[in-house]
Chains A and B, each alone.
Chain A
């Protein structure tokens, strides 16, 4: 079943849908809706509450990074999302793709900072890499960057 999402988007959703594809605005007000969609997929695939909580956080940090860094705080730019269930090597899991249309950056430049250097900021990348099994940044076709996140059950 296709449903419109506030924010000018198209989404394939419903209880039996394994994939959601939609576009949000780079507005922090959009974050709770995405968190809820991620939470729903995580529960469907069988993650427990703790893992679900962590995966929701990782995805939220990915979006926050797009808003803060790729779009330097602008709230009116598009972020294309694909959230889906996957199965790899006998493990079910979730895969998220986050596509922005901002400046391209070198993937190797996106690194976390040492945690023993306690200061505000700079924790998002560390959280994403700690929680997810696979994190891939790459330039997207047509400009911008694409981030792919994968988390499998039993990992």
Chain B
């Protein structure tokens, strides 16, 4: 997989789990968005983005998640963000998007939203 921000994509019966990693900033935002959009084109019932290994995210990364949330909603799916690291939670809190996203702490919970 030639994408520095995506480490793994698993297609499970309950949905697709995408494991992101590294620093999602202006350098990598387009790769990140492209990968998530590709998954959305498959219209899984749940899209789970594991953010536990993302050490940094800027507003371009957050904007991508907002966009993906809209895409998932448009086909009737659900988006869950799994275990965001502290720096990622920080930007969610500053932008009050911690109240907008479904944030969960386990994959089981993510696949049950």
A residues sitting closer than 8 Å to B (CB atoms) are 28-29, 31-32, 35, 49-50, 53-54, 57, 60-61, 64, 67-68, 115, 118-121, 123-124, 126-127, 130-131
- B76 in contact (CB, < 8 A): no
- B10 in contact (CB, < 8 A): no
Please report the C-alpha to C-alpha distance between residue A64 and residue B87 in the assembled complex, in whole angstroms: 18
CB distance from A49 to the nearest CB of B (A): 7
Q: Which residues of B contact A124 (CB under 8 A)?
A: 59
What secondary structure prevails in chain B residues at the interface with A?
Answer: helix
Which of B25, B58, B95, B100: most chain A Cβ within 10 A?
A: B58
Task: Using CB atoms, name the residue of chain A closest to B87.
Answer: A53
CB distance from B84 to the nearest CB of A (A): 12
Q: Which residues of A contact B58 (CB under 8 A)?
A: 57, 60-61, 64
Please report the C-alpha to C-alpha distance between residue A127 and residue B56 in the assembled complex, in whole angstroms: 15
Contact status of A118 and B66, CB under 8 A, knowing A53-B87, A57-B58, A57-B91: yes
Q: Is the CB of B94 within 8 A of A67?
A: no
Please report the C-alpha to C-alpha distance between residue A61 and residue B58 in the assembled complex, in whole angstroms: 7
Task: Using CB atoms, name the residue of chain B closest to A64.
Answer: B26
Q: Is the CB of B63 within 8 A of A130?
A: no
